[in-house]
Amino acid sequence: MRRLPIVALLAGVFCQPAFAGHPTPTGESLAARLAELERETQALRTELEWLREHPTRLPPVEPTPAGPAHAAPPRADEQFFTWEELQAEMRRLTFTKGDFRIVPYGAFWADALYQTARTTPGAFTIFVPSREAEGENAFFVDARRTRLGLNIDGPRIPLLHHSLSSALVEIDFHSPVTAATENRPTVQLRHAYWQARNDDYRVLVGQYWDVISPLNADTLNYSVGWFAGNIGYRRAQFWFERYFHPDPNLMLTAQFAIAQNIITDFATTPGVKRESPGWPVVQGRLATTLGDRSAGRPVEVGVSGHIGETGFDFLDVDPPQHDRRFRTWSVGADVQMPLTERLALKGEFFTGENLSAFVGGIGQGMCPIRRSTVRSTGGWFDLTYRLTDRWRVVAGYGLDDPNDNDLIAGRTYNQFIFANTSFDVTRSLLTGFEVTSWRTLHQDLRDEPQGPTEPGESVVLQWMVRYGF
């Protein structure tokens, strides 16, 4: 089916007879027609490469049954497309500019939440304030998770072994600007990067996820376990990734990145100036992938870590302290594996120091009183069971446990336990419901018989609807 249009066009160019009123083609007209054919051929090749790079737009390929007794008839609501229908759909949803294909995408996302005790920051949860500070219940309806993006597929790059090139930019509306309100949100840049890749390596430049701890918990909460065991965020970086294929069922991956220092501590402390040190954050990860990757169910195990510095000028002491530097580092492990045909496990573990910029330490990289670093250890896991192709249930647990000896006042322990179910109403419409129990321990400067301040505890009920395109 792919060759027929090209063959027909070639036949039209070289075999067209000369009729009255239609003069025999000249060399210039033949050259113009050949150039037009070359452009169409290149567009078709780009289209095919785009489909190969975006397999999620194609119907899933089911394994061939062992015998006719196990064959199941296709569902009546399944949609399968011919090549021509896919072409028409792609042309309708994409734009082209020269050799570039621009694909808009997005998700209109809304959540309704009830919290038995108010959490921080509100419409999603990263920890629970002490019941002495909060404690009243709360209800939210929020649409700031809505995301919009552009996926740009470009031409191959000859100097990089004809690697595929692409770029992506994505925003949502969760920028933490104090002047914004829930119904007047501000734009937050999530991703903005260019990359080139092939079967052996990938090069990426721009804002993207951290190399370390690459997985996310399948919670419906916007924060996906940040501040509660899931470290790693987004930042500007230069990323290099190399793949090794010693066996068809074995792949080794080495990842390395130099990334921007992000300094989050003392953001509102008078007399403290934050500054970026003279060298970047260095991140790395080694991973092993076992199993048939084409079937989409391999086992992947990775180890990762980072090292860097944060810097401050403490101008509110006598004498002032300039150019103070504090190390940030982490070591972690991640795993994801299928346990049965329908049940899958994934999770991460970390330990490190000064992790606030990596959403670790419950957001505390530095002790605000001692002005020294805070060590922390934690992790998370979840289990996903697919009841049907459309309906799934997930349960999981996470914790972040800063070292109590490093804190005089602050959050000393944070955990969450969650269970949710979600259902694909259509290929574009998803809805789900989740119950999460949060518990955050606090301590302060008081020297009273009851010891640390009262913990924060909350049960969060969340219903979400997402419509993607």
Full set of structural domains in the chain with CATH: 1-16+26-58+81-93 (no CATH), 94-468 (2.40.160.10)
Q: How confident is the model at residue 441 (pLDDT cuts 50, 70, 90)?
A: very high
When comparing pLDDT for 184 and 388, which is higher? 388
306 CB neighbour count, 10 Å cutoff: 25
Q: How confident is the model at residue 276 (pLDDT cuts 50, 70, 90)?
A: confident
When comparing pLDDT for 298 and 65, which is higher? 298
When comparing pLDDT for 455 and 450, which is higher? 455
Q: Render pLDDT for 412-434 as a digit per residue (tens, 0 to 9).
A: 999 999 999 999 999 999 999 99
Provide mean pLDDT across the span 70-75: 43
CA distances from residue 214 to 166, 333, 361 in whole angstroms, order as listed: 21, 10, 18
Q: Render pLDDT for 374-400 as a digit per residue (tens, 0 to 9).
A: 999 999 999 999 999 999 999 999 999
Chain mean pLDDT for the chain: 84
Q: Residue 334: beta bridge partners?
A: 302, 348
- Helix residue ranges per DSSP H, 27-69: 27-53
Inform me whether the pLDDT recorded for 3 exceeds 80: no
Provide mean pLDDT across the span 82-100: 67
pTM for the structure as a whole: 0.78
Inform me whether the pLDDT recorded for 4 exceeds 50: no
Hey, what are 355's tokens? Answer: 């992790």
Q: Residue 462: beta bridge partners?
A: 113, 434
Q: Is the peptide bond before 121 cis (omega within 30 degrees of 0)?
A: yes
